[in-house]
Amino acid sequence: MGTRAPAGSRRLPTWIALTLVIVTGINIRAIFGVTPPLIPEISTDLSINATTAGLVTSVPILSMAAGAPLGAILSQRFGTDLAMITLLLTLGLAEASRLALDTAVALILTAGGIGVALGALSTLSPALITHYLPRMRGVGTAVYVTAMALGVGLAAGTAQPLTDLLGGWRPALAAWSLLAWLLAAALYVAREAGAGMPPASAGRERARLPLREGRAWFLTAAYSVAMFLGFGVMAWLPSLFIAEGVDPGTAALYLVAFQVVQLFSILTLTPLTDRYDGRRGVYATAMLCSTAGLALLTFDPHHLAIPGLLLAGAGIGASSSLALVKVQDEARSPEDATRLSSMTMLFSFLAGAAGPFLLGVLKDATGSLTPGFALCLCVSASSLLLLIRMRPGDRSRHDDPVPLTAVVPE
């Protein structure tokens, strides 16, 4: 009887490693794309108001913050491979359970379970990139971020067709369990073939959050703005257009366009920070685009839908990636980057969860999504005050740069 090769003794082909990274990214963000286009149908079927519908998006984000420490705990105890496989199996089970949903409470509970699994998986993804793409960490990280954005767009674009094909919104939500289980199976095969990840180092101390450092609060504010706007607008954008008379299929395509333009801005504006020390110009461009787009969506979402969503998406996407760049600017070492990003992500996930919920509350209170988008407009405009503290990047660190994978807490 043969024995399994030691972990890490073999190397996967690059294209297979990149595929694993891509599928991981899609899994981690698909839930945030598949739900918004189906909110009107879900609300009618389960007889829920806008506040409860907002919780369907907010709860997974809150649960991601709560689940983040779980990834490190499982990795330390069982190894990163088994931790990811277990979490993916759990994610698939939570998604598949939506086939039997019959109450709003059950829907929110499954959303919470999915969020916990996603939060834990998010903390382990850098290890996946580092292990399988040791000489292509930057490329791997770019592919991972791109896959997350594409995951939202792919899920949004297929939500209504899957609903029509499978006969309802429940199987359309549950269908994503197959991708989670497929990735779990692929990681298991890689592990059995000896290409898996070695166990985490024992005795690693947990870094304390830099709660008393001004730079940490600045970074938290910058990323929280992007998360609040990104998740808030994403959750309610299709509903905004449907309320204006746009058919659900077209509204879902608008959400896809919102995601695609975010990806475009991430890939075009962010690389400018490698060439120029200044950050104010890029950030000002991003937030002015966001503010202009949100103004159009607030005051005339029917006639100005396309320019509004394109400007808002471009600004929000660039601001989120720039916040990650600023972590590298401020960090003094990879360990310092982990401390800063841990605090940044903890509070920004809370801000991201608040976005969809507050927009839902305002819709219930006023009968319209306009006040909620006006709130987003105010947040975007106010974020320009961050330019006061937006110092240039430190070129002296470029000789020994902090890898972007260190930005995500391990």
Render pLDDT for 10-22 as a digit per residue (tens, 0 to 9): 778 888 888 998 9
Residues 349 and 309 both lie in one domain: yes
Q: To 10 degrees, what angle do helices 80-96 and 50-78 make? A: 150
325 within 8 A of 266, measured Cβ to Cβ: no
Q: Which residues 6+ apart lie within 8 Å of 56 measured at CB? A: 35, 39, 42, 107, 108, 111
Q: Are residues 172 and 304 in the same domain?
A: no
Residue 255 and residue 37 in contact, taking contact as beta carbons nearer than 8 Å: yes
Tell me, yes or no, whether 281 lies in a domain.
Answer: yes
In a domain, 173, yes or no: yes
339 pLDDT band, cuts 50/70/90, is low
Report pLDDT digits (tens) over 91-127: 999 999 999 888 889 999 999 999 999 988 877 776 7
Residues 224 and 366 both lie in one domain: yes
CATH number of the domain encompassing residue 305: 1.20.1250.20
Most confident of 38-52, 254-268, 288-302: 288-302
Q: Does 229 share its domain with 171?
A: no
Residues 281 and 182 in one domain: no
406 belongs to a structural domain = no
143 and 220 both lie in a single domain: no
Asked whether residue 5 is assigned to any structural domain, the reply reads: no
- 273 and 357 share one domain: yes
Q: Assess if residue 207 is contained within a domain.
A: no
Least confident of 44-48, 150-154, 220-224, 272-276: 272-276
* Per-residue model confidence (pLDDT) at position 120: 81
More confident residue, 53 or 309: 309
How many separate domains does the chain show?
Answer: 2
Dist CA 241 CA 233 (whole Å): 12
**Residues 44-72: what's their mean pLDDT?**
82
Supply the range of the domain harboring residue 252: 213-393
Pair (303, 224) in one structural domain: yes
Residue 67 shares a structural domain with residue 195: yes
Is 323 a residue whose pLDDT tops 90? no
Residues in the chain: 410
Confidence bin at 255 (pLDDT 50/70/90): confident
Mean pLDDT (the chain, rounded): 82
The answer to whether position 16 is within a domain reads: yes
Q: What is the pLDDT of residue 23?
A: 93
* Strand, coil or helix: 119: helix
Q: Are residues 281 and 140 in the same domain?
A: no
Kindly tell me if the per-residue pLDDT of 287 is higher than 90: yes
What's the pLDDT band for 404 if we cut at 50, 70, 90? very low
Give dist(CA 389, CA 322) in Å, integer: 14
pLDDT, greater one: 389 or 158: 158
Please tell me the least confidently modeled range out of 16-25, 51-60, 104-113, 225-234.
51-60
The last residue of one of the domains, among 200, 232, 256, is 200
Q: How far apart are the first and last CA of the chain?
A: 37
Per-residue pLDDT, 8: 53
CA distances 286 to 128, 204, 230, 321, Å, are 31, 38, 13, 10
Please report whether residue 51 resides in a domain: yes
Q: pLDDT at position 225, please?
A: 94
Long-range contacts of 375-382 (CB under 8 A, 24+ apart): 376/228, 376/229, 376/232, 376/233, 376/294, 376/298, 377/291, 377/294, 377/295, 377/298, 379/225, 379/228, 379/229, 380/225, 380/229, 380/287, 380/290, 380/291, 380/294, 380/315, 381/287, 381/291
Q: How far apart are CA 139 and CA 87, in angstroms?
A: 25
Question: Could you tell me which residue, 148 or 371, shows the higher pLDDT?
Answer: 371
Shared domain for 152 and 220, answered yes or no, is: no
pLDDT greater than 60 at residue 31: yes
Helix locations, 200-333, DSSP H: 214-243, 248-269, 272-275, 280-299, 305-330
- Report pLDDT for 138: 55
* Residue 61 located in a structural domain: yes
Considering the domain architecture, whether residues 177 and 220 belong to the same structural domain is answered as: no
